[in-house]
Amino acid sequence: MNSEYAFIMKCKQKVLSSQKITAYEAKSLINISDESLQFLSDAANEITRKFNGNVIDVETLINAKKGTCPEDCSFCSQSAFYKTGIDIYKLLPAETIVKNAKIAKDNGVKSFCLVCAWRGPSEKDFEQICEIVKKVNSEVGIEVNCSLGFIDKKMAIRLKELHVRRYNHNLEAARSFFPKICTKHTYQERIDTNKIVKKVGLELCCGGIIGMGESRMQRLELGIDLSDLNPEECPINILVPQNGTPLELQTKLSLSEILRTIAVFRFLMPKTILKIAGGREVHLANEQEKVLLGGANGIITGGYLTIDGNTAQEDMQMISRIGLET
């Protein structure tokens, strides 16, 4: 254990002095014994505080268009390929979205993300989204982020002009695991969209889902690919198996796996907002504070795209209970 502690400290010092850890070091960190896991979490916490202070980034999502997606992501209850029984709807009216943005702002939430379940927006849909963004900007004044699937450079520039701050497009899984979870598009297409986002000067929000049956090394592979993209924000979802999807019987990840993954992602992306997203409440129950003291510095509050979550009030209380702020 002593040698593991010394190794964690050595890697921590490297990151604190703005050096990158190697892939080999990251592999040794993620394979640390359970006995040393608390040291790893504490070191990730120290890195988080040094580069990100005490602030937790709190965001609310709105599922602006739900279900009937033509893609076949095996974790997703919004895919038209699976009979999941979720309610479906077309793009919500602007008034509904503005109303939800106002509620988020009144709850002390800093950013509001418009999410749509489709491969990418049609020109008509995109024009509607632009009008919605303008309305939220002028009537609410909350930071707006978007997650609209594949977009081209023209669309990305337009979003930037409309003062969208951040664009979300997750890698979802490691390159080596991706073909097992999706056959309708490629990993490279996802990388390419992320590069467009960066190129036009939008902030990038790019993360993935853990617990889909990938190996620990594939989780690390995802972390390394994500760090190569250098996103401003990285959401980490923990799979909540959805009825009717190919992953409905997937076994749960242990707390130890979740904590070691988040900690190592922090070592790999010291300055990124590491946001613990879908699955937080389901998997972590009374242990949610551990991830915010073990590398994560962001949450999504008020529920997710197809599952409920904590209320904003509950989350704000949790954040102040552990001495952090929003």
Cβ-based nearer residue to ligand SF4, 41 or 245: 245
CB of 149 to ligand SF4, least distance (A): 6
Task: Characterize the bridge pairing of strands 298-300 and 111-116.
Answer: unpaired
CB of 37 to ligand SF4, least distance (A): 31
- The distance from CA 121 to its chain's CA centroid, rounded to whole angstroms, is 21
247 binds ligand SF4 (CB under 6 A): no
Chain positions 101 to 140 lying near ligand SF4, rule: CB under 6 A, are 117
CB of 224 to ligand SF4, least distance (A): 22
Nearest 5°: phi and psi at 219?
Answer: -65, -40
CB of 29 to ligand SF4, least distance (A): 29
Q: How far apart are CA 296 and CA 118, in angstroms?
A: 29
The interface mask with ligand SF4, positions 139-168, x = CB under 6 A, is ----------x-------------------
CB of 115 to ligand SF4, least distance (A): 8
Q: How far apart are CA 44 and CA 268, in angstroms?
A: 10
Residue in the structure block whose two tokens are 């951040």: 166
Q: How far apart are CA 91 and CA 314, in angstroms?
A: 29
Q: Map residue 64 onto helix, strand or coil.
A: strand
- Number of Cβ within 10 Å of residue 214's Cβ equals 23
Chain positions 266 to 325 lying near ligand SF4, rule: CB under 6 A, are none
**H/E stretch holding 62:** strand 57-65
The interface mask with ligand SF4, positions 65-84, x = CB under 6 A, is ----x-x-x--x-xx-----
Start-to-end CA distance of the chain, whole Å, equals 36
Cβ-based nearer residue to ligand SF4, 78 or 227: 78
CB of 69 to ligand SF4, least distance (A): 3
Binding site for ligand SF4 (CB under 6 A): 69, 71, 73, 76, 78-79, 117, 149
